[in-house]
Amino acid sequence: MREQLRPLNAWVVLGTQLALTVLALALWEWGGRAGWVDRVFFSKPTDIGLQIGDWWRHGYIVEDVVATMSETIAGLIAGSFVGIVLGVLLASNRFLGAVFEPLLVLLNSIPRITLVPLFILWFGFSFSSKLVSAMALVLFVVFFATYAGIKDVDPTLVANVRVMGATRLDIVRHVLVPSALSWIFSSLRSAVGFALIGAVVAEYFGANVGVGYRIVNSEASYNTAGVFAGLVILMVLVVLVDTFIRWLQRRLIVWKPASL
C-alpha cells in the first residue's frame, strides 16, 4: 500500500518560491550596488528591468518576440509533423524500421548545434534557416518518442482489433497513434525548449531580428544587462508555450485518471 501523504499547502509552496526569488534578486541587486558583484559582468536586476523597458519603448521586444516565436512555432510544428510521421511509419512497418531506425540514431548522434552554420549557409539569414535549425532539434525528440510509444503498445490491443477485421491503416488510426499520443505530448514539452534553442542559436549565427540577435548584439557591446534581459524574455516565452501544451494535453488525453 502506498502511504497516504498529507497534501502540501499550495499557497505555502508558492509563497516560499516567491520569497526565495525576491531574496535572490535582492541579494544580487544589493551586491551590485555595494560593489560585491562586478556590475560589468553580472549587471543587476534593476538595470535588466530598465533594459527591458527601454527595448519595449523602442518596439524591439514585440519585433523580436514575434520573429523568434514564429521561427520556434514553425520549427516545432514542422519538426513534430515529420517526427510523428516518421515514427509511425518506422514503428509500424518492420522493413522500414529495420532500414531507417539505425540511420536516424546515427544522425541523432551529430550535435545539431554544429550544423547551424551550415543551415545559415544553405538558407541564408532568412526565416527558413531558423526554421530548419529548430526543426532539426525537434524532429528527433518527437520521432524517438513516437517510435517508443508505438513499440510500447500492448500487443493484446492490436490482436483484438485485428480479429475484428481491422486493416493496417485501422490499426494505426485506432490503436497505434492514440497509444503513442501521451508519449508524443510529453516529448512535445521538451521539444518546445529545443525548438527555441534551435531558433535562438540560428539567430546567434546570423540574423537581423529576434531575441537571439538582440542577445548577441548586447554581448558584442558588453551590455550584460541586455544579455540577461534577453534571457528573461526567453524564459517567459518557454513558460507560456509550455502552459499552452499542457492545456492542450489535458483537453486531448481525457481517458487517463487525472493524477497521471
Partner 1 sequence: MALVGPSGCGKSTTLALVSGLDRSSSGSVSVRGTPVDGITPGLGFLFQRDALLPWKTVADNVALPLQLRGVKGDEARRRVDEWVGRVGLRGFEASFPYQLSGGMRKRVALAQTLVYDPEILLMDEPFSALDVQTRNLMEAELLELWQGSGKTVIFVTHDLEEAIALADEVIVMTAGPARVKARYEVTLPRPRDIEQVRFDPRFTELYSRMWNDLRDEVLKSYARATTAP
Residue 171 or 238 having the CB closest to partner 1: 171
Residue 191 makes CB contacts below 8 A (sequence gap 6+) with 76, 79, 80, 137, 138, 141, 142
Interface mask toward partner 1 for 160-199; x: CB under 8 A: xxxxxxxx--x---xx--xx-x------------------
Instruction: Indicate if the alpha-carbon torsion angle 78, 79, 81, 82 is positive or negative.
Output: positive
152 near partner 1, judged by CB under 8 A: no
Smallest distance from the beta carbon of 8 to partner 1, in angstroms? 26
249 near partner 1, judged by CB under 8 A: no
Cα-only R_g, the chain: 23
**DSSP label at 173?**
I
Residue 179 or 190 having the CB closest to partner 1: 179
46 near partner 1, judged by CB under 8 A: no
Residue 220 or 254 having the CB closest to partner 1: 254
Count of CB atoms situated within 10 Å of the CB of 89: 16
Q: Give the amino acid at 34.
A: A
Residue 235 or 253 having the CB closest to partner 1: 253
Measured torsion, CA atoms of residues 244, 250, 253, 255, in degrees rounded to the nearest 10: 180
Residue whose grid cell is 517567459: 236
Cell of 212: 537571439
Residue 181 or 209 having the CB closest to partner 1: 181
Count of CB atoms situated within 10 Å of the CB of 58: 10
Q: Round to whole Å and give the CA distance between 8 and 1.
A: 20
Residue 128 or 249 having the CB closest to partner 1: 249
Instruction: State the number of binding residues for partner 1 (CB under 8 A).
Output: 23
Residue 6 or 251 having the CB closest to partner 1: 251
150 near partner 1, judged by CB under 8 A: no
Helical H runs in the chain? 10-34, 39-42, 45-58, 60-92, 94-108, 116-123, 127-151, 155-163, 168-171, 177-205, 211-220, 224-252
Contact residues: partner 1, CB under 8 A: 154, 156-157, 159-167, 170, 174-175, 178-179, 181, 253-257
